[in-house]
Chain A
C-alpha cells in the first residue's frame, strides 16, 4: 500500500495541470514544490508594494489552456481574469522607427503598408499560410503524445494536412520570414520572437515563425499577475482532492528494478506512490534525482547529450511616473542578422550585451492594481539572452553595475525619464533563476528546442527507462511556454489514464 497514487515533483503549470487532471480521474495526488509559491516561471512576487511577474508575462494560444480548464469542468475565462492586450506589440526598431501591430490583422497590414507597401501582400500570404498551419497543428501537435514513431505516424494520419507544412520544418525561422517579407524593417519587427523558441533567427526551427501570427488570435495578461493561471489550476485540483505542499524539496526519486516507487525529501522523509510525475528539468531528474546507474546506456547517452535552453536576465521595475510607452508590450527589436551576430559572437562567447533589446511589459497598464498607489507603475524588462557563465566576472558581481547600465541605456534610447523615476529595481540573472527555480543554468525552456531535441527526440512523457515515471513541463513535448507546458500535463494525464 502506497501513501499516494501519484506524486508530482514541481508545481509549475505542467505539474499543476497534470495533478488537477489526475485528481479528477479519482487518484490521490500530492504535488511537491520546493519554493514558497506555485507556478514555476509563471509566478508572481511582491516587493515594496509592487507586484511583479517572475518570468512569463503573457499568454498566447489561450485556446490550448482553455481545453485543460474544460477537462476540469469549467473554462479559462470563468477561472482567470484575463485582459486582452491590444496592440500586440509596439515595436521600436534600432533606427528608432516605430511599428505598431494591433490585434486586428487588417490594421497591422495597414501599418506595414505605411512603412513598406510591397510587404502587405507578403503579410497576407504569411497570415494565410500560418493560419492553415495552426488550424492543422494546434490540436494534433499540442495534444498528441510524441513518445514513439508510431505516435508520429498517428499524428500525421489524423491530420494529413500537416504534411503540407513539412518544408517549414526543414527551414530556419529567418528562412521562412525572408520568404514573405522583403523590407529589412518589417523583418526586424518580427525577428525577436525566434527567441520564444529559444534560438536566434538563423537557427530556430521554421515552424516557430507561426508565433508572430498566432499572437493576433489574442495575447492576454492575467489580472493580479500571471500566477492567476497556476492558482486556478491548483484551486480546481483541490476541488477534486489534490494536495499541494510548498517548501518541500525532493532530493531523489526512489527507484528499484527500474521502477519509480516514490520520492525521498531533502529532510530524509520517504513518500511512496504508484506513479511519479516530474515537472522539473529532465537532465536534473535523470542524472541527479534518479542516477545514471538506473538508466539503460543508450538513454544515458541521450539524456547527457541535451543542451540547456537559453537563459535571459529580467529587470523588475517599480516607478513613480507614467512611462512614455504605448501599450502593455513594447518590443525593442534588432535586425535579424544582428540577433544572429549577438547569439554567436557575444552570448555564445559568455559575454553580455552593452546595447539592450527585448520586451518591456508595462503590466500595470493592464492592471493598475499591481502598483501600490495611483501614478506609480510596474515594468518588467525581458532582456536579450544572457549566458550562464560570464567571461571575466560573475553575475553576482556584475548585477549592480548592469542594472545601472540598463536603466541608463533605456532612459536615453527608449523610455525617457526611467532612471530618475525608479523606486524599486531588481535584476534576476540566470544564476538567480537557477537558485530560485532550481532550473539548471537558469534555462527558461529547460532544454534547447530545435528539430533534433523536439517531438520524439525530446525526453518522453512516458519514461522509456523507468516504469511508473512520467514527465511534464518544458523538458518534454511540446516544449517550453505556458500553453505548451499545460498541454504536456494533458498529454501525461491521458497516457496515465491509458496505461496505469
Chain B
C-alpha cells in the first residue's frame, strides 16, 4: 500500500470519527446538505 492510499484511508477514518462524534442536530444539518449535493451541478444550469 503506498503512502497516498494510507493517507486517504486515514483521512476517511478521521472524517467518519468526527461525524460520529457530532450531536444529532449537526449530523442532520450535514446529512441534509449531502443529500442535495448531487443536484448542485444541474441546479447551476437551472
Contacts and interface: CB of A to CB of B under 8 A. Distances in A.
**Genuine A/B complex:** yes
Interface of A: 172, 174-175, 202-203, 282, 286, 296, 298-299, 301-303, 305-306, 337, 340, 344, 450-453, 456-460, 464-465
B39 A452 contact: yes
Interface residues of B, number: 16
16 contacts: A172-B29, A175-B26, A296-B45, A299-B42, A302-B41, A302-B43, A306-B43, A306-B46, A340-B28, A450-B36, A452-B37, A452-B40, A457-B40, A457-B44, A460-B46, A464-B45
Interface in B1-46: 25-26, 28-29, 32-33, 36-37, 39-46
B38 to A, nearest CB: 8
A450 B43 contact: no
Nearest to B30: A172
Nearest to B42: A302
Contacts of A299: 42, 45-46
Contact of B43 (A172, A202, A296, A453): A453
Contacts of B36: 305, 450, 452-453
Most chain A CB atoms below 10 A, which of B41, B43, B44, B46: B46
Q: Which 5 A-B pairs have the closest CB atoms?
A: A302-B42, A302-B46, A452-B36, A305-B39, A301-B42
A401 to B, nearest CB: 33
Most chain A CB atoms below 10 A, which of B28, B39, B42, B43: B43
Nearest to B27: A202
B23 to A, nearest CB: 10
Contacts of A202: 25, 28-29
B45 A305 contact: no
B32 A305 contact: no
A303 to B, nearest CB: 5
A458 B43 CA distance: 7
Contacts of B37: 452
